[in-house]
């Protein structure tokens, strides 16, 4: 499966690079700011073609086409471009993300930004890698010295979890925060120690499937906002170096829900 995963990432990455400087069609999805481009669809079609050629009986869950159910215990979970808004604006902070779930557990994941050439990869029990280098989370223990990253859900204004107020609670503690626009890269950059912690509401399985394994295998911790066991099908993610996890949870809990 590793060869197929790498081939899928490399070939879809080529498509992202090829179209970056061309004109491509862009449409809105459920709400006007939630975009899908022709390149998302081309990337997705190529990935699925590669997977199907090797594993025709595996299940697939992919952002733009949805689920292909073959009654298999193995599911490829695909985000053909994570960071589509960045991509559509010519910002090269975006990636392809593919996670493989077997019997309900993520066993392999890869995330590739073809513009930076950074490919993050993890296999359950075997550690996490950035290209050929083994990676681990940061050692930061103090939240005030941390660098955090987050994203906002498309329905930020109406979200009962108050994403703006939670963001403000961290900002008011004078903690630096970045907002890259690609959840998959946010998690990878936490896994390799650039960030100390990441949180977001309302992500989908394809945003996080590969990233969660990469973070866990790099020694990080991922839970929901109550510190409970994380599911890629859940709506809350708190992914950290493990050291500042409880402190981040306290800040999030300090904000009353609507």
Judged by the rule CB under 6 A, the positions of this chain that interact with ligand IPD are 79, 82-84, 151-153, 181-183, 203, 207
In the complex with Ca ion, the residue whose CB is nearer, 184 or 252, is: 184
Residue whose CB is nearest to Ca ion in the complex, by number: 82
Q: Counting contacts by CB under 5 A, is residue 44 touching Ca ion?
A: no
CB of 153 to ligand IPD, least distance (A): 6
In the complex with ligand IPD, the residue whose CB is nearer, 189 or 243, is: 189
Q: Which residues contact 3 (CB under 8 A, 6 or more apart)?
A: none
HSE-CB at 133 with a 13 A cutoff on CA atoms is: 7
What is the token pair recorded at 153? Answer: 């859900």
3-state secondary structure of 142: coil
Interacting stretch for Ca ion, rule CB under 5 A, among 8-16, 42-50, 153-161, 207-215?
207-215
Do residues 49 and 35 make contact, with C-beta atoms less than 8 angstroms apart?
no
Give the number of residues written for the chain.
258
Choosing from 44, 63, 123, 236, the residue that interacts with Ca ion (CB under 5 A) is 63
Quote the CA–CA distance of 96 and 47 in Å, as a whole number.
10
* Burial of 151 from C-beta contacts in 10 A (0-12 / 13-18 / 19+): buried
Do residues 54 and 39 make contact, with C-beta atoms less than 8 angstroms apart?
no
3-state secondary structure of 13: helix
Q: From the list Ca ion, ligand IPD, none, which binds 190 (C-beta under 5 to 8 Å, kind-based)?
A: none
Q: Which residues contact 132 (CB under 8 A, 6 or more apart)?
A: none
Choosing from 48, 60, 82, 212, the residue that interacts with Ca ion (CB under 5 A) is 82
Q: What is the 3-state secondary structure (H, E, C) of 58-71?
A: CEEEECCCEEECCC
CB of 258 to ligand IPD, least distance (A): 19
Q: From the list Ca ion, ligand IPD, none, which binds 130 (C-beta under 5 to 8 Å, kind-based)?
A: none
CB of 256 to Ca ion, least distance (A): 29
Interacting stretch for Ca ion, rule CB under 5 A, among 26-34, 77-85, 136-144, 247-255?
77-85
Interacting stretch for Ca ion, rule CB under 5 A, among 12-20, 105-113, 200-208, 226-234?
200-208
Nearest alpha-carbon partner for 77 in 217, 209, 213 = 209
Cα distances (Å, whole numbers) of residue 18 to 8, 57, 145: 15, 30, 40
Do residues 175 and 206 make contact, with C-beta atoms less than 8 angstroms apart?
no
Q: Counting contacts by CB under 5 A, is residue 200 touching Ca ion?
A: no
In the complex with ligand IPD, the residue whose CB is nearer, 109 or 243, is: 109
Q: Counting contacts by CB under 5 A, is residue 79 touching Ca ion?
A: yes
Interacting stretch for Ca ion, rule CB under 5 A, among 18-26, 76-84, 213-221, 227-235?
76-84
CB of 205 to ligand IPD, least distance (A): 11
Q: Counting contacts by CB under 5 A, is residue 207 touching Ca ion?
A: yes
Residues that bind Ca ion (CB under 5 A): 63, 79, 81-82, 207
């Amino acid at each position: 499966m590793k060869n197929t995963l790498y081939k899928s990432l490399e070939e879809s990455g080529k498509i992202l690079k090829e179209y970056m400087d061309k004109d491509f069609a862009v449409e809105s999805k459920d709400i006007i700011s939630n975009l899908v481009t022709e390149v998302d669809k081309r990337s997705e079609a190529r990935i699925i073609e590669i997977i199907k050629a090797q594993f025709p009986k595996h299940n697939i869950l992919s952002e733009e086409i949805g689920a292909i159910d073959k009654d298999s215990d193995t599911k490829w979970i695909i985000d053909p471009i994570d960071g589509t808004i960045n991509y559509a604006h010519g910002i090269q902070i975006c990636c392809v993300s593919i996670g493989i779930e077997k019997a309900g557990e993520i066993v392999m994941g890869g995330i590739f930004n073809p513009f930076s050439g950074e490919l993050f990869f993890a296999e359950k029990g075997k550690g996490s890698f950035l290209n050929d280098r083994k990676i681990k989370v940061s050692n930061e223990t103090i939240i005030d010295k941390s660098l955090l990253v987050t994203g906002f859900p498309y329905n930020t204004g109406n979200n009962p979890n108050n994403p703006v107020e939670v963001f403000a609670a961290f900002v008011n503690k004078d903690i630096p925060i970045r907002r890259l626009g690609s959840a998959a890269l946010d998690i990878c950059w936490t896994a390799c120690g650039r960030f100390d912690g990441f949180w977001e509401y309302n992500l989908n399985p394809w945003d996080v499937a590969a990233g969660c394994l990469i973070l866990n295998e790099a020694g990080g911790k991922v839970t929901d906002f109550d510190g409970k066991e994380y599911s890629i099908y859940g709506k809350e993610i708190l992914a950290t170096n493990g050291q500042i996890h409880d402190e981040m949870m306290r800040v999030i809990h300090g904000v009353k829900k609507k």
